[in-house]
Amino acid sequence: MNQTIKQFIEEHEAEMIEMRRYLHQHPELSLEEFETTRYIASKLDELGLEYRLMDPTGVMTEIKGPQPGKTVLLRADMDALSINELNDHLEYKSTKEGKMHACGHDAHVSMLMMALRALLAEKDQIRGTVRFIFQPAEEIAKGAKLIVQQGVLEGVDNAFGIHIWAVDEAGLVNCEPGPSFAATDRFQVHFQGSGGHAAQPHMTKDAVVMVSQYIAHVQTIISRATDPMEAAVLTIGKVDAGDRFNIIAENAKIEGTVRTFDAATRDIVETEMKRYAERTAAMYRGKVNFEYERLLDPVINEKRSAELVQSISKAAFGETSVGHLPPTMGGEDFGEYNNYIPGAFATVGTRNEAKGSDFPHHHARFNVDEESLKVGAELYAQYALAYLNQDEF
């Protein structure tokens, strides 16, 4: 471990917390992070670093060491959510009505900026290049794809990211090899029948009957069509049908999400969902429009990268700092980087009931234990140094 990195972060911890609180007060929604982008750029100006502004938002910069080597990318997302914050007791509560950092992206930006500053102070120890990306629009599953299209992975050998995690106790690091976050898909199914008077059902084609039968049977795809050893979730989150109590519905729509880790399972679920929809509509003499959108690919931690995270965590924070929790069915667009280069994505616990940081992500009372920030910042920086300074990887 580089002890100078640890010392630098401890000495400047208060500044990192101050940055996090400023960002928390000024949240911006996905692809609207213009002020956040300017704020990050101003901090890089103060450090004398050149940077590239992404389109429409986001910032990329680099630190090149004196010796040639590989390039590692460190990523933090920076968008907020359309939630009205209820943390009235906080002096740094969101100042923007209906907008809130309810997922910890304010913490991610602050941790990565502190890691950047620590690595800049240790520039002479860097063998290769550390690339930093402050990424927009993770919450709408578009940011990673957008900036990858703009070339942020060109010349990159490995990528590392962190997510503050409200499930785990403050400071606990999780980074298991293999699947970490699930592929996230969205579906919309629109059944079309022929409406009419409730007293004359024989003259209609009832879309409510179609959608109810579909809802009742579609879950058998998970229980009977997919390999039971491969995890899959199919959730219908929204149903919209009918106009009033005495009219048979002409239209019925549902929306939902599918979560998987395995590519073959993902294909099976989509194919079977469409087949069920078409057969159901045909059985009741109706029509159906089936839409299926693959939003996010799974996050897959490359074995050696994940093991490097674990070894760094044990050395920096102690043997008990590493957890071994199973993957989550939640989605994360860091998986887009995995599609091109190896790397790892870690979670850093921030749960502390005594400090009120025990609400789940996307909750109006979400908050973080700021003691966790120095763990995340050091993990970012130590990972970059350790990866670049290995003889082989």
AA identity, residue 318? G
Does 175 carry a binding-site annotation?
A: no
CA 268, CA 90: separation in Å to the nearest integer? 47
CA 241, CA 362: separation in Å to the nearest integer? 28
AA identity, residue 237? G
**CA dihedral in degrees (42, 44, 47, 49; nearest 10)?**
-130
CA 298, CA 58: separation in Å to the nearest integer? 23
Nearest to 370 by CA among 338, 344, 348: 348
Does 108 carry a binding-site annotation?
A: no
Q: Which residues participate in catalysis according to the annotation?
A: 79, 138
CA 299, CA 158: separation in Å to the nearest integer? 14
Nearest to 367 by CA among 173, 91, 58, 43: 91
3-state secondary structure of 364: coil
CA 373, CA 359: separation in Å to the nearest integer? 17
Rounded to whole angstroms, what are the CA distances from 12 to 8, 40, 42, 104, 225?
6, 17, 18, 20, 54
3-state secondary structure of 346: strand
Does 105 carry a binding-site annotation?
A: yes
Helices and strands (DSSP H and E) totals, the chain = 11, 16
Does 163 carry a binding-site annotation?
A: yes
CA 257, CA 275: separation in Å to the nearest integer? 17
Which residues are annotated binding-site positions for Mn(2+)? 103, 105, 139, 163, 362
